[in-house]
Amino acid sequence: MTGCLYSYTNLNTTNFKFELGQDGSSHVFWNHSDCKTKIINQHLMIANQYSFTIGDKYAGPTDTVTIIPEPDHYLDYINNQYRKFYNYNFDKFLQDKWWREDLKSKLHTVWNIEDTTQSIPQWVLREYYSFVFLDFLETNNDRQTYVDSECVASISAQDFFGNFSTTLENLCEKLNLHLDLTHLSSTHETFLQRQIYHNTQLAIDQWIQDLVTHNTTVIADPCKTFLDEIYVQAKLRAHGYEIRCNGLDQFPKNFNQMKKLIYKI
């Protein structure tokens, strides 16, 4: 959104050519010094440096535009971060996203693991984080703070996938910007092709629903990342099921295999 807002409007006074990264990221355009003088990009989860905290009402400039995260897609968003910013490095992701002292304590008291410098079994990490992951998704997105923030326009994150041209046109009208539509359609098509985690949460939610209510599913292998596996275990528990996960380093994606591993709490 911000890449198009800068590149295809009269904000772009340097003939800047906008390109998406192979992972669908537009963040490379922030390396262009002129864009930083026109647009300020802020995430509430790193808001401390902007002198307001999570849960506060952000009263931004009169031309502030907020992007509202949608609960059915929280997993999609975090998978995108996991891919783009952490390159699937789970250790680095944990250092940034979770307080490790609680993990160290639980490893000792629950799994009798004292040396946390050694490799921790996947099944242990999955089980531990499955107890905190759903709350983490809520906190990480902090949707209500965005909803309550003062702004000139509020856009759902899912508008990026729908009628994007109309959304951007309406936004430019509110911001009094002139939009050039020449390259917008092709840029949006490229964006859609590279969003490999779009609707992942919806697919997994349906797969889990099938697991606990039906004998079959039309959805195959919904898990694409380790975060997806954590989400599956967390959501199964929310439905009243646990996984026989002791030693389960290789997570079963096969529906029938998983069906045999779950049991009612």
pLDDT in tens, 12-48: 998 888 888 887 777 777 888 888 788 877 665 444 3
Q: Which helix (H) or strand (E) holds 168?
A: helix 164-175
Scanning the structure block, which residue is given the tokens 């994007």? 164
Q: Are residues 117 and 247 in the same domain?
A: yes
| Measured distance CA(30)–CA(99) in Å, rounded | 29
Q: Are residues 211 and 257 in the same domain?
A: yes
| Measured distance CA(19)–CA(6) in Å, rounded | 12
**pLDDT(78) > 60:** yes
**pLDDT(173) > 90:** yes
Given a contact cutoff of 8 angstroms between Cβ atoms, the answer to whether 124 and 247 are in contact is: no
- Of 154, 173, 193, at which residue does a domain stop? 193
| Measured distance CA(119)–CA(177) in Å, rounded | 53
Residue-level pLDDT at 49: 36
- Of 193, 210, 230, at which residue does a domain stop? 193
Q: Are residues 159 and 255 in the same domain?
A: no
Residue 19 gets the label, from left (phi > 0), alpha (psi -120 to 50) or beta, of beta
pLDDT tens-digit readout, 236-258: 999 999 999 999 999 998 899 99
Q: Are residues 186 and 203 in the same domain?
A: no
| Measured distance CA(64)–CA(43) in Å, rounded | 12
Q: Which domain holds residue 136?
A: 75-141+198-265
**CA nearest to 60, candidates 84, 44, 80:** 44
Size of the chain in residues: 265
Strand, helix or coil for residue 25: coil
- If one counts the domains in the chain, the total is 2
Q: Are residues 95 and 207 in the same domain?
A: yes
Scanning the structure block, which residue is given the tokens 């490229």? 190
